[in-house]
Structures are given as C-alpha cells and as structure tokens.
Amino acid sequence: MSFRLIRASTFLLALVMALFGTGWAVQEPEVTLEFVQTAHPSSFPPLMRVAVRNVSYTPLNLVDRITSSELLIDGKSSPRKELPFDGPPGLPAMGQWDACVPLEDYASTVPPGKHHMVMKMGGAQSNKVTVEWTPVVNWRKGNMKTRTKEVRGMADALTKGLPRGCVEEWLTVKDGGVQESSRVRYYLEPQFKVIVPYAQEGGPALNAEVIAGPVKVYQEPRLRD
C-alpha cells in the first residue's frame, strides 16, 4: 500500500471518529413543552403539547424516547405509564414530531394552583413551563351566556400552527353534511359550530395537518348525515 493511500485512509478514519466520536450522531433531541388552555376555567381541560426535534443526522428511536420519558411536576418525577404509543416509531434525521400527549399518561391528577413542569426524555430536557391548573367546569351548570363565552374562549386558544390532533382532543364531534377539504366543521352542544382551517405542514412526507388561520364559531343546529 502506498504512503498516499495510507495517508488518505488515516484521514478518513480521523474524520469518522471526529464526527461520530464527538457525539454528533447521537445528539440529544430538542424537546419543547407547551400547555394549551383557555384563559378562564372551562369544560376544556388543558392540553399538553410536546414537540420533539431530531437535530442529529441519524434517525431517532421516538418510541423508546416517549415510553421511557418522565414529567417533572414541581421537581417531582412522574414516569410515563406503561401504555402503547400511537405516534411514529422513529424520526428521520432533522425530523420533528409535534402532538398533544394526555397528561393522564404521566399523572392521574394535578392539584389546582400554579405548577412548574418539565418533560425529560433520556438525556434531553424540555423548557420549564409554569401552568395555572384549574378544575374542569361542568358547562351544563351554567347558561347559554356562559357556554357561549367558554366556547369562544376555547376557539381563541386554538392558534395557528397547532396540530389537528390537539384540536380534536377538544372537538370530538364533526358536523354532518358536506365538509370542505381544507376546513373542518365541528359540533358542540348545544347548537354550536366551530370551523377550523387546516394546512399540511412540512410537505406530503410529514403528513401533518395544523391550524392554518382563525377559528370561527357560530350557532346553528347540528346537521345529520
């Protein structure tokens, strides 16, 4: 083997060690925690939104990260319960997953009041979020005026960029009749319609729908198919 070939091989080995030996290939993902909630107590419980961004140039085992994750509530660890994960099994290099995860997957109850929360996934840790936790209200104990106020407050909390899966934690019933492809019309009792515009985020490969604009609320009887 020539000196030039040996030198080239040595350089290549050094480059591989520099890239992979420094942890570039096993870089911890970026984890972002956010709570989506109405400005006032309502019948819509807070949503825990978690975004995981793979900043590495190698795939990330998302199932392992989620199933072994833990939620720190005021510094106290609440490991994720042994539940199946219905998200994607992994993330490609530089890929991202953004969804709402049930708080019940980690903690059965959260006492009313202010709490500090952090999501941990292996060596990765999210930002610290301060949440003002309030009990869920039974809207049936109010009147049409209070129900209208909380439905409009819920719509205000549905901001642009929020994943459709998060929206449908609150809006579980679709209205009947013809639906537009880019806007979904939901029904809430008694006789409220909520129209949410969606758009694809990240192209067809990601196949993620997010809110694309303002959410509209109006009153009308439910349509039946």
Per-residue pLDDT of the chain (225 residues; tens, 9 = 90+): 433 433 444 344 334 334 444 445 568 999 999 999 999 999 999 999 999 999 999 999 999 999 999 999 999 999 999 998 988 999 999 999 999 999 999 987 889 999 999 999 989 999 999 999 988 999 999 999 999 999 999 999 999 999 999 999 999 999 999 998 899 999 999 999 999 999 987 644 455 899 999 999 999 999 987
Residue 31 bridge partners (DSSP): 52
Is 203 part of a structural domain of the chain? yes
- Assess whether 91 and 168 both reside in one domain: no
Residues comprising the chain, all counted = 225
pTM here is: 0.84
Tell me which long-range contacts 156-159 makes (C-beta under 8 A, separation of at least 24). 156/38, 156/39, 156/215, 157/36, 157/37, 157/38, 157/39, 157/44, 158/36, 158/196, 158/211, 158/215, 159/211
Torsion of CA 113, 114, 120, 125, to 10 degrees: 170
- Assess whether 130 and 211 both reside in one domain: no
Range of the domain at 54: 27-137
Is 109 part of a structural domain of the chain? yes
Q: At which of 115, 137, 159 does a domain end?
A: 137
Q: At which of 137, 159, 187 does a domain end?
A: 137
Among 104, 98, 101, 184, CA closest to 136: 104
Is 2 part of a structural domain of the chain? no
